[in-house]
Chains A and B, each alone.
Chain A
Amino acid sequence: MNNTADRSMALTGEPPKALNLQQKLATLFGMTGMGILVLALMNINFENRALWLTLSLLAISGGIVWFSYAAYANTQPGIKNDGVMFKSISSRGFWGWIAGIALTGFYIVLYFYPQYLGLTKEGDNTGLIALFDPLSKLLSGNPASQWFVYGTLYTVAILAFGIKFLYKYRHNAYERLRTISVMFFQTAFAFLIPELMARLNGEGFSLPYYDLKNIWPLNYYNFERYRVNSFIDAGDIGLALLIFGILSIFVITPILTYKYGKRWYCSWVCGCGGLAETAGDSFRQLSDKSLFAWRVERWVVHSVVVFVTLMTTAVIYSYLGNDTSKYWLTKTTFLIGVATFLTAIFAWVMIYKREQLKKDATYGAIGYFVIIIALIGIHFFSGDGNVFLFKSEALRKTYSFLIGSIFSGVIGTGFYPIFGNRVWCRFGCPMAAILGFQQRLFSKFRITTNGGQCISCGNCSTYCEMGIDVRAYAQKGQNIVRSSCVGCGICSAVCPRGVLKLENGPAKGRINSQDVLLGNDVDLMQLVNENK
């Protein structure tokens, strides 16, 4: 108790955390936009919904852009982290918790109680969702759903905070391009294209809602029965989309990750990454850098991969038939195919990449491999029934609830101001784990450490949203090759000594380790680094 009293009495304090007048006005302006949404939520019926929705969205994005202008306009281009650790919103202070609770609450309502937002099964929408009807009808011709409201706000957030980010990093071409890219992919691929695709649906032709950049296993439901049926029923276009969905994860993704690392997806294309990098940018310093957190991360995220693999296998299995004469892909062929594929990957890693795995990674890989193969084996011995001991529907529901809703939404985004902006990407996203696995073992991407220039200041580690202790590598002269790195490039940006560079280069010499750093006696360096 004494501590708190001491803190308020201390001479320290009052660093520049206050907002300037323009920023206050901008906040007020943005809040009026939010106010309109709140009024709609409280079932105030607006006569001209299109007008009020436009006003609201304009005020929100205008407020954010104005705020950013007021923050950065009178400054020199360069790193803008003054006061980050003093501001309550970005250092788990009062406003941080308020924002966290508000966001979490929003996600809970969105996922589990959309009726409170005004979703009506029979008849017209009311409340907040009704406010978005005009925009939804304009795009797809259908009334809005809770997901349309969410998608719209999500896109507005990425665009408006994207502009803020562009302003903040206006000196940095990598950050600018990357941000323009996520803004584009969110607006076009996640928001507009699927809505416009819905327009094509009509008599006898119906495509499932499909954000093309949303790849399985992030898009864990992509191969569920209703979607696959609807792809197949939609003829050539549908089939093309289905094939694209399969190629995305098995062909396109590995090639791009080999060439550029997983950043091509995680911080250039992905919508989750897009929100984290823009709206979540103010919270990147809150990620946990401890060794303990890293250990937890490895187990949790890879368990999610195993979970999603089992779940998807079970779901696909459940709707396949047994008769080869009807369709070449039967339950048995499918299971054998999955088992063969996993065995091939496992064998490749164990034979060629074993020395690169930490001990717990090896145990984990062996453990999970044995479990999956055993489960598939049990199926063959126990006859037809439940693959993997559970009903596929139960698996699917559990995954969708635990991972799809709670982890990626409520915790992943709702807790931005508490755990940092990449909690989902780091601990939960199976897509990130698969790309990361490849990035670590089979890619040209690395963050190069510049000889002996590191002064261990720790800016890189502090601002790593994935909780990588970048400094631990940089101060040893080691390149950073980590599966979790999403390649946001901020470590390199905040480095005051020009030590870090994200680049794609030859695989040879990608991972280096040195005991004595460049700048020292050449003979000694050789002696020590060779005698290890």
Chain B
Amino acid sequence: MEKIVIIGNGIAGVTAARHIRKLSDKEITIISAETDYFFSRTALMYVYMGHMKFEHTQPYENWFWKKNRINLIKGYVEKVNPKEQLLQLQNGQEIPYDQLILATGSKPNKFGWPGQDLKGVQGLVSKQDLDALEANAPNNKVCKRAVVVGGGLIGIELCEMLRSREIPVTFIVRESSFWNGVLPNGESQLINEHIKEHHIDLRLGMNLGEIHGDENGKVEAITIKETGEVIDCQMVGLTAGVTPNINFLKDSGIELGKGIKVNRFLETNFPNIFAIGDCAEQHEAIGNRRPIEAVWYTGRMMGETVAQTICGNKTKYNPGHWFNSAKFLDVEYQTYGWVFSERNKKEYEKHFHWRHPEEKVCITMAYHADTGKFLGLNTFGIRMRHEVFDRWLTEECSADYVLEHLKDANFDPEFYKAYENLIVAKYNTDTGSHIQTKKKSWKRILSLGA
């Protein structure tokens, strides 16, 4: 029977395994050095914060794997030998394969800062990072202050985690405003304010200069590059993005760039080796996407796709409309379609921004300056219905249409305050339009009776 081996038991690898099992009887093996069973990486923060226990992060009960005949091996793959179709584990074990799926994920970026390898300096990606954090910052007596470097999604999550144990946090962000390489100004501003509400010492426009260690090689302070200010701290979180986890492939002959180079079928330069998830790098970016997408659901989608190909239905990785979501402390964020920051905005892209006068609620809608076509929407503090926006993007609806039917897309819990009328009133003022919101219609939402 054909042997499928998957390296990595994250969302990409596990999705591939599950779908291959659904479609076939092939022999499936997953190798991971991280944990015995698949867990949801995105939930690591909740374990540290005490919202969940680690076992709650495991989406499948432990009997699931045996029942579905998915072999799990805990081990570290040291070498891949594509010529002999053989993997070598650190413990010397050799594992043959017919088809290999690389789903090794990513690791935290380190930009060569002095002291970046001291004890107490860490990222937040793996289970091991979580364990390290428990050791480095168990409470505010052992860790009197923590410094988090890098203003992205993991950075702000790490700040939230540390604050849950009342550890003072200094948050060093290179940009002049939080995540403003991605978020438009108004939104970025709103999050800046929210970060400060949570008593996080936010330092915008600053870079890490150096990390200082004590005589035991443990971090004791950092220096801020711009000001030379020294901040005493017992833990430093490096959260300036991630990079594909591919060091073990260096001499394998598999074509590498920043990540593992793949074509649209997720094939590497060897036809029986695939790469999916965070570690895969497209030869050419797909649409407005980045060549390496370190996003939960793209990993899942690549897993779904590669399973089709391996089971005989050769399928291109062809992601649909962009979407994503996150939570910044207490503020939820969702995005559908493309809304670029001022820095990356296309020349035809026009923005409409609305923010509630008191609450932490705002939206930014991007539309085409000439045609009025709807391009994308960011929301903060309002949940939106994915299916509806996906359809509007496919049907290339106009911005006016979207606003008129905005009530269809609302996904907030029942009885929540609705903001559509305020939003549309502001739009009408801004653009001199006369749009009136339509009542929510299940017929339209579910495309019934069309």
Chain A residues near B (Cβ < 8 Å):
11-17, 76-79, 81-87, 171-174, 177, 290-291, 448, 450-453, 455-459, 461-462, 471-472, 475, 489, 492-494, 496-498, 501-503, 505-506, 508-509, 515-525, 528
A-side contacts of B308, CB under 8 Å:
524, 528
B-side contacts of A471, CB under 8 Å:
59
A451-B323, A509-B448 known; A81 vs B50 contact (CB < 8 Å)? yes
| Contact in complex: B40, A457 (CB < 8 Å) | yes
| Contact in complex: A498, B332 (CB < 8 Å) | yes
| Contact in complex: B305, A451 (CB < 8 Å) | no
A174-B416, A462-B51, A524-B305 known; A517 vs B383 contact (CB < 8 Å)? no
The 4 closest A-B pairs by CB, nearest first: A451-B386, A78-B330, A498-B383, A521-B318
A-side contacts of B138, CB under 8 Å:
11-15
Cross-interface CB contact of B323 among A12, A509, A519, cutoff 8 Å: A519
Distance in angstroms between the alpha carbons of A295 and B48 in the assembled complex: 32
A-side contacts of B383, CB under 8 Å:
450, 498, 501
**Chain B residues numbered 263-290 whose CB sits less than 8 Å from any CB in chain A:** none
Contact mask for chain B residues 79-115; partner A; CB cutoff 8 A; 1 contact, 0 none: 0000000000000000000000000000000000000
| Binding-face segment, B121-129, B183-191, B293-301, B342-350 | B293-301
Check if B312 is an interface residue, CB within 8 A of chain A: no
Contact mask for chain B residues 292-316; partner A; CB cutoff 8 A; 1 contact, 0 none: 0000110011001100100000011
| Contact in complex: B330, A524 (CB < 8 Å) | no
Q: How many A-B residue pairs have CB under 8 A?
A: 202
Known contacts A84-B50, A459-B46, A528-B308; 10 further A-B pairs (Cβ under 8 A): A16-B50, A81-B46, A171-B330, A452-B323, A461-B56, A498-B411, A506-B442, A508-B448, A520-B304, A523-B318
**Chain B residues numbered 386-405 whose CB sits less than 8 Å from any CB in chain A:** 386-387, 390, 394
| Contact in complex: B415, A177 (CB < 8 Å) | yes
| Contact in complex: A173, B413 (CB < 8 Å) | yes
| Contact in complex: A450, B59 (CB < 8 Å) | no
Distance in angstroms between the alpha carbons of A254 and B379 in the assembled complex: 38
Distance in angstroms between the alpha carbons of A93 and B139 in the assembled complex: 20
Check if B218 is an interface residue, CB within 8 A of chain A: no
B-side contacts of A14, CB under 8 Å:
138-139, 141, 165
Distance in angstroms between the alpha carbons of A17 and B40 in the assembled complex: 25
Most buried by B among A16, A177, A498, A506: A498
B-side contacts of A86, CB under 8 Å:
50
| Contact in complex: A76, B330 (CB < 8 Å) | yes
B-side contacts of A82, CB under 8 Å:
49-51, 164
| Contact in complex: B416, A173 (CB < 8 Å) | yes
| Contact in complex: B315, A462 (CB < 8 Å) | no
| Contact in complex: B52, A458 (CB < 8 Å) | yes
- Pick 23 A–B contacts, CB within 8 A, sort by A: A13-B138, A14-B139, A15-B49, A15-B164, A81-B46, A81-B50, A82-B49, A82-B51, A171-B330, A173-B415, A290-B61, A448-B411, A451-B385, A493-B413, A498-B325, A505-B445, A506-B448, A508-B448, A518-B387, A520-B305, A521-B315, A524-B304, A528-B308
Distance in angstroms between the alpha carbons of A451 and B321 in the assembled complex: 12
Distance in angstroms between the alpha carbons of A492 and B413 in the assembled complex: 7
| Contact in complex: A517, B297 (CB < 8 Å) | yes
CB distance from B99 to the nearest CB of A (A): 20
A11-B135, A12-B138 known; A83 vs B50 contact (CB < 8 Å)? yes
Cross-interface CB contact of B386 among A13, A475, A518, A520, cutoff 8 Å: A518
Cross-interface CB contact of A458 among B56, B166, B386, cutoff 8 Å: B56
A-side contacts of B43, CB under 8 Å:
455-459
Distance in angstroms between the alpha carbons of A494 and B11 in the assembled complex: 21
A-side contacts of B385, CB under 8 Å:
450-451
| Contact in complex: A81, B448 (CB < 8 Å) | no
Distance in angstroms between the alpha carbons of A508 and B445 in the assembled complex: 12
| Contact in complex: B52, A83 (CB < 8 Å) | no
Closest-by-CB residue of A relative to B141 is A14
Most buried by A among B166, B301, B317, B329: B301
A78-B330, A521-B319 known; A459 vs B415 contact (CB < 8 Å)? no
CB distance from B130 to the nearest CB of A (A): 10
Check if B225 is an interface residue, CB within 8 A of chain A: no
| Contact in complex: A475, B59 (CB < 8 Å) | yes
Cross-interface CB contact of A81 among B51, B58, B315, B413, cutoff 8 Å: B51
Distance in angstroms between the alpha carbons of A172 and B301 in the assembled complex: 33
Distance in angstroms between the alpha carbons of A86 and B57 in the assembled complex: 16
Cross-interface CB contact of A450 among B61, B141, B301, B386, cutoff 8 Å: B386
Closest-by-CB residue of A relative to B40 is A456
Distance in angstroms between the alpha carbons of A489 and B198 in the assembled complex: 26
Distance in angstroms between the alpha carbons of A14 and B301 in the assembled complex: 40
| Contact in complex: B297, A455 (CB < 8 Å) | yes
Distance in angstroms between the alpha carbons of A79 and B52 in the assembled complex: 13
A290-B61, A515-B22 known; A496 vs B327 contact (CB < 8 Å)? yes
Cross-interface CB contact of A453 among B50, B57, B334, B445, cutoff 8 Å: B334
**Chain B residues numbered 328-357 whose CB sits less than 8 Å from any CB in chain A:** 329-330, 332, 334
Distance in angstroms between the alpha carbons of A345 and B68 in the assembled complex: 37
Distance in angstroms between the alpha carbons of A171 and B381 in the assembled complex: 11
| Contact in complex: A84, B51 (CB < 8 Å) | yes
| Contact in complex: A15, B50 (CB < 8 Å) | yes
B-side contacts of A522, CB under 8 Å:
320, 394
A82-B164, A475-B59, A509-B448 known; A15 vs B139 contact (CB < 8 Å)? yes
A-side contacts of B330, CB under 8 Å:
76-79, 171
A-side contacts of B40, CB under 8 Å:
455-458
A-side contacts of B197, CB under 8 Å:
76
Distance in angstroms between the alpha carbons of A302 and B291 in the assembled complex: 54
Check if B24 is an interface residue, CB within 8 A of chain A: no
| Contact in complex: B165, A16 (CB < 8 Å) | yes
A-side contacts of B326, CB under 8 Å:
496-497
B-side contacts of A448, CB under 8 Å:
411
**Chain B residues numbered 24-53 whose CB sits less than 8 Å from any CB in chain A:** 40, 42-43, 46-53
| Contact in complex: B329, A78 (CB < 8 Å) | yes
A518-B386, A521-B319 known; A456 vs B42 contact (CB < 8 Å)? yes
CB distance from A265 to the nearest CB of B (A): 17
Distance in angstroms between the alpha carbons of A77 and B138 in the assembled complex: 25
